[in-house]
Structure 1
Amino acid sequence: MNTNDALRPSKVIDEEVKWDKSKTIISKTDSVGTILYMNDTFEEASEYNKIELIGEPHNIIRHPDMPKVVFKVLWDNLKQGNNFHAIVKNLTRTGRYYWVITDFDVEKDETGKITGYTGRRKALPEKVVKKIEPLYKTLLEIEKIKGEKASELYFNSYLQEEVNSSYEDFVVNLFEKETSNSKENNGEAPSKESGIIKKGINWFFFGETDPK
């Protein structure tokens, strides 16, 4: 699906957008990624309003700093019906950015056919960004110089040699570790979850959800 370039910012600004990081960004798409719904927090973080984005492809907010291989892994899993977590840097309407960790529900009809996806996104601890950003920069440089296949080969080898896990497990462990460390450093006890559990983990909704 083609992105509406008229809605993309004319330039990229190396500045993080301000948004309420205690909230959850929520969107719903059809099976090919067309935006069907977005909550108020999505509007705040992305600086787009609902009128602009409903009916548009979700990749309209894809940041040029993101390597394509991450989205390939994400979509390969979603198309197989797997809920999936990823760390993503998104682009706002004014060219700024915001980092999030994603969680997806895969929606199916009575025959088991995938009809769409509900994505939820939480803000990242700064330490997670600092750990994942160098990897993404390397993948992007390989992609630009050697192509997407070379980037994918390096990505798979990195996961095998450096972290000895899948990308999703790497993301989950990194987020969970830094979130726990942050709470401990602030003298907080681990908080109870809302009861939503994905793949045996219950850390995603550690704060208030935004049902709007």
Structure 2
Amino acid sequence: MSRSTVRPTNVERYFSEDDVIVSKTDPKGIITYANKIFLTIADYSEEEVLGKPHNIIRHPDMPAGVFRLMWNRIQSGNEIFAYVCNMAKNGDHYWVLAHVTPNFDRDRRIVGYHSNRRVPDKHILPVIKDLYAQMRAEERRHASSKEGAAASVGIINAMLDRKGLTYDEYIHGL
């Protein structure tokens, strides 16, 4: 089944609070490593994910603005924590709190990215889901996906300005 034909099932998957989903990518986001927990929750074999773009597990309801924010942070050499809804091979979904960090060579050039994902706090998810719904609604108002993603990031920035917080302060304060 091709990724383009997979539709969300609205069935949520869960993993243990002791589990950590781990993946590594090259600088372009191509998967170079996926641990057993990643493969199990996403229902892929190692052969199916290695060499593929990490967005193979992207849920279509995730705002593009979240990924734009994430890429901007990690490509500039910074880490990021973000709540993400991923999609398994069959269309089931699972929520994670992702911690993504760049990997550097000796000359401080980014040579890839490392992501650890844990079970998110279930009490925080309603806040995140509401924010993401606002972001997706804003994205749909734009004909261009690029403009939509930029406007979606604007939703986060406006919220942070109102609260007088940085992104990191907001995420860690939830």
With normalisation by structure 2, the TM-score equals 0.90
**Amino acid aligned to 1:108:** F
CA RMSD across the alignment? 1.6
The answer to whether the 8 A contact 2:68-2:153 is kept is: no
Q: How does 1:8-157 map to 2 (within 5 A)?
A: 10-146=6-142, 147-157=148-158
Which residue of the partner structure matches residue 173 of structure 1? 173
**Amino acid aligned to 2:72:** D
Q: Distance in 2 between matches of 1:133 and 1:7?
A: 24
Q: Distance in 2 between matches of 1:121 and 1:68?
A: 19
Which residue of the partner structure matches residue 205 of structure 1? none
**Amino acid aligned to 2:127:** K
TM-aligned CA deviation for residue 17 of structure 1:
1.4
Structure 2: segments with no counterpart, 5+ residues: 143-147
**Amino acid aligned to 1:118:** H
The answer to whether the 8 A contact 2:26-2:111 is kept is: yes
- % same residue: 31
Q: Distance in 2 between matches of 1:42 and 1:148?
A: 27
Q: Distance in 2 between matches of 1:56 and 1:123?
A: 24
**Amino acid aligned to 2:172:** V
The answer to whether the 8 A contact 1:19-1:44 is kept is: no
User: Measured at CA, do residues 46 and 115 of structure 1 come closer, stay the same or move farther in structure 2, by a change above 3 Å?
Assistant: same
Structure 1: segments with no counterpart, 5+ residues: 175-212
With normalisation by structure 1, the TM-score equals 0.75
Report the secondary structure of 1:100's partner residue.
strand
Q: Distance in 2 between matches of 1:70 and 1:6?
A: 24
Per-residue displacement from partner, 1:33-71 (whole Å, max 9, x unpaired)?
100000011012111111100000001111111111111
Count of residue correspondences? 169
The answer to whether the 8 A contact 1:23-1:41 is kept is: yes
Q: Distance in 2 between matches of 1:49 and 1:21?
A: 22
Which residue of the partner structure matches residue 145 of structure 2? none
